[in-house]
Amino acid sequence: MTAPLRIGFIPLVDAAALIVAVDKGFAADEGLDVTLVREVSWSNVRDKLNIGLFDAAHLLAPVAIASSLGLGHVKVPIVAPFNLGLNGNAITVSAALHAAIMDEIEGDPFDPMATALALARVVAVRRRSGAEPLTLGMTFPFSTHNYQLRFWMAAGGVDPDEDVRLVVLPPPYMVESLANGHIDGFCVGAPWNSRAVDHGVGHILHFVSDILVRAAEKVLAVRQNWSDKNPDVVAALVRAASKAAEFVAQPQNHAETARMLAQPERIAVDADVIQRTLDGHLKISPDGTIRQSSRYLLVGREGASRPDPVQAAWLYAQMVRWGQTSFSPEALRIAKAAFSPELYDAALGREEKAANAPQSIGAFAGPAFDADDIAGHLAAFEIARRT
Amino acid sequence: MGAESSPKIVIVDESPIRAAILEEGLREAGFTVVLHISEMQSLLARIYALDPDVIVIDLENPSRDVLEQMFQVSRAVRRPVAMFVDQSDAASIQASVDAGVSAYIVDGLKKERIKPILDLCISRFNAFAKLRDELERTKSALEDRKVIDRAKGILMKLKGLTEDEAYVLLRSTAMREKKKIGEIAQSILTASELLK
């Protein structure tokens, strides 16, 4: 057994590979003695990882990049040797906003361009009538949820900083805030969208996989200097997470996975809600309408586990687009290096050459993403906050 | 803010007792303008309305992520806010995270004026945690005593022992099995429930 490891996580379904790695014994099989520590905020996870109270963490992919670049907080180089999940978020709106969008929509309600254009018309109507701007919740300034909401609405002509209010809300408060009208919608991970639908207060408008075919969501993050000093531990962690992710990926294991995740010390919600997420079988409306998608949350399949530097570059490009930082080639290099397929490949002793598929981002709007020409790529988007 | 005036400190904490302990400490140390927010709904709006120089929040509070939004330059923000603990303050970050408290300051307040505020928050948070631990220990000690008394009663009845003999039996069993006396007592209660 190695020295005991403390790993922080936020109670979300995309922590599945990490939780299963520990609770199903894959970590112990690798000689790791892991204690999982449930946290209440991404700020806490980031700070405790940064100062060494955690050896590793379930972390928002953009926070790993922001921390490496010193954006928003102390600069601590972080590296992600394993990708815990792709996709998994959804955009949920109140019954009122859902009805307003459906009144304005032309075309397929699952087409994000159709809904974004409809949202733009709803926003215009509200402005003319002197109504307050719509308020939408997301989880963190450096979050996939923030960038996914922005990307979607901006494609329809809605300026996320001028036309609506985007506010950070802790995921456990999202459903209540939607119910009492403090917000009109949100983008968040599982299980919170399903909770809003189950409580009859929300409609799932989009799975994030409608907006981006592949979107890096949470990573297993470690400090770069810790990784340099403990290569064997990092490799063992990657192997344990990889075995767990492969376990989670098998449909016949979804029920057992859901039961493990549902435990009070882990995610602490009904196993049934968790299983719907794993199955990609989601109730999207309080009337009971079900939507099925195998791409809703990808854990351990379709190459989801292998960190993809192109994903890191896309997230960095969003930070630039929305004025969180200005572009520099050096920062882009640092951002890409935060996602390490090298550590992943070294740990597993193999190379999944086809893993990082050509359809690496697959956004529904704008030109195909070019990680080598961020400035040129961003020039194609009209709405932006360039610094 | 003038150089002599006391900075306006806002405590964001859902625990009224801890907030009161903190507030008292800050006032005693001469920080006279201390306000408390206990309601997390529309937290940013409440903070902007109070317009503080320093914000103190406990790390158990999920709304800490809401405060991170203040770093983002947007039309909603009237003054940029920076975390006071910067790159050079690794020890301060460690101490505050250990204590379970985090502080944010509005740009412009001098660092040397913040240090005593944070130090005080850290010591008060630690004092509160100690208090809570003691309370927990007292509670579980009380709980143990109740369990032990009931177990003694069962032993006295079933084995015809005196109270002292029953206690000695419990204690010697606990020592032999390297368990707490409360645990042995609890297993006697469980067994007697099962055998009813």
Domain annotation covers residue A283: no
Domain annotation covers residue A336: yes
CATH of the domain at A32: 3.40.190.10
Domain annotation covers residue A338: yes
pLDDT beneath 50: ranges in chain A: 354, 358
Query: What local confidence, expressed as pLDDT, does residue B28 receive?
Result: 92
Q: How far is CA B99 from CA A9, A111, B16, B129, in A?
A: 20, 49, 17, 8
Domains of chain B in sequence order = 9-133 (3.40.190), 137-194 (1.10.10.10)
**How many C-beta neighbours within 10 Å does residue B135 have?**
10
Domain annotation covers residue A346: yes
Query: What local confidence, expressed as pLDDT, does residue A10 receive?
Result: 96
Q: B69 and A167: CB-CB below 8 Å?
A: yes
Q: How far is CA A378 from CA A317, A320, B4, in A?
A: 7, 9, 48
- The rounded Cα A86 to chain-centroid distance in angstroms is 7
Q: How many angstroms separate the CA atoms of A201 and A286, rounded? A: 7
Q: How many residue pairs from chains A and B have C-beta atoms closer than 8 A?
A: 76
Which two tokens mark A295?
């791409």
Supply φ then ψ for residue A217, to 5 degrees. Answer: -115, -70
Chain A residues whose beta carbon lies within 8 Å of the beta carbon of residue B65: 41-43, 139-140, 168, 170
Domain annotation covers residue A149: no
Interface mutation vs chain B, best among A169, A174, A325, most B CBs within 10 Å: A169
- Asked if A29 and A283 touch (Cβ cutoff 8 Å), the reply is no
Query: How many domains does one find in chain A?
Result: 1
Query: What local confidence, expressed as pLDDT, does residue B2 receive?
Result: 43
Domain annotation covers residue A252: yes
Q: Dump pLDDT digits (tens) for A201-248.
A: 999 999 999 999 999 999 999 999 999 999 999 999 999 999 999 999
Please name the residue that has the structure tokens 């928003």. A72
Beta-bridged to residue A34, according to DSSP, are A5
Query: What local confidence, expressed as pLDDT, does residue B129 receive?
Result: 85
Domain annotation covers residue A298: no
Query: What is the DSSP code (8-state) at residue B6?
Result: P
Query: What local confidence, expressed as pLDDT, does residue B87 receive?
Result: 55
Domain annotation covers residue A343: yes
Host domain of residue A35: 5-86+216-268+324-357
- Min Cα–Cα distance to chain B from A241, Å: 27
User: pLDDT digit of tens for each residue in chain B (196 aa)?
Assistant: 444 578 899 999 998 988 999 999 999 999 999 999 999 888 988 988 898 888 999 888 999 999 888 776 544 444 556 555 555 567 777 888 888 888 887 766 676 777 788 888 888 888 888 888 888 888 888 888 999 999 999 999 999 999 999 999 999 999 998 888 999 999 999 988 888 7
- Residues 75 to 104 of B: which have CB under 8 A from any A CB? 75-76, 83, 85-87, 90, 93-94, 97-98, 102
Query: What local confidence, expressed as pLDDT, does residue B86 receive?
Result: 55
Query: What local confidence, expressed as pLDDT, does residue B3 receive?
Result: 45
Q: How many angstroms separate the CA atoms of A26 and A3, rounded? A: 16
Query: What local confidence, expressed as pLDDT, does residue A282 receive?
Result: 95
- Min Cα–Cα distance to chain A from B91, Å: 9
Q: How many angstroms separate the CA atoms of A254 and A261, rounded? A: 10
Chain B residues whose beta carbon lies within 8 Å of the beta carbon of residue A75: 87
Q: Kindly provide the ipTM of the predicted complex, given to two decimals.
A: 0.89
- Min Cα–Cα distance to chain A from B36, Å: 20
pTM, two decimals, is 0.87
Query: What local confidence, expressed as pLDDT, does residue B53 receive?
Result: 85
Is A367 in a helix, a strand, or coil? coil
Q: How many angstroms separate the CA atoms of A212 and B57, rounded? A: 36
Which two tokens mark A191?
């299980």
Burial class (CB in 10 A: 0-12, 13-18, 19+), A320: buried
Q: B65 and A43: CB-CB below 8 Å?
A: yes
Query: What local confidence, expressed as pLDDT, does residue B45 receive?
Result: 85
Chain A residues whose beta carbon lies within 8 Å of the beta carbon of residue B101: none
- Asked if B59 and A42 touch (Cβ cutoff 8 Å), the reply is no
* Closest C-alpha to A120, from A137, A134, A141, A139: A134
Interface mutation vs chain B, best among A74, A165, A175, A326, most B CBs within 10 Å: A74
